[in-house]
Amino acid sequence: MKVKVINQSKHPLPEYQTILSAGLDLRANLDQTVTLGPLERVLIGTGLYMELPAGFEAQIRPRSGLAFKHGLTVLNSPGTIDADYRGEIKVLLVNLSKEAFEIKDGERIAQMVVAKHEQIQWENSSDLTETERGAGGYGSTGKS
């Protein structure tokens, strides 16, 4: 699938890191380093603008290495970019560690997965089909 993109960053377009990768790594597009203190959040621009086709969304997700090693994650994970959005792709990062983290220009800060989606139409009803689980919620299926 081809997606129109405008790259106003100082960096090359995101690429898949391996042939079977689902996500493209997004880079911070900064004029200066940003220091993110413990439990602080910041919106980081990428300098990228895109035009997704109808029926698709882009999901912004954490990079596993940054999350594991530094406690840095995407706060509204996964963040959703709708097909009709034309603004700059930005990443909402939060530092869940006890130490400050420096975000440098060009650093890979998140990954973006493009996925097909459906829109639903509600059908009013007075009952739902019975299942084994029923209304069992959080933890209702057990641990093992």
- 81 in a labelled binding site: yes
- 120 in a labelled binding site: no
- 82 in a labelled binding site: yes
- 80 in a labelled binding site: yes
- 63 in a labelled binding site: yes
Residue 78 · residue 92 · CB < 8 Å: no
d(C-alpha 111, C-alpha 46), whole Å: 11
- 64 in a labelled binding site: yes
d(C-alpha 126, C-alpha 49), whole Å: 44
- 89 in a labelled binding site: no
Residue 92 · residue 76 · CB < 8 Å: yes
Which residues sit in the known binding site for substrate?
Answer: 63-65, 76, 80-82
Residues annotated as binding site? 63-65, 76, 80-82
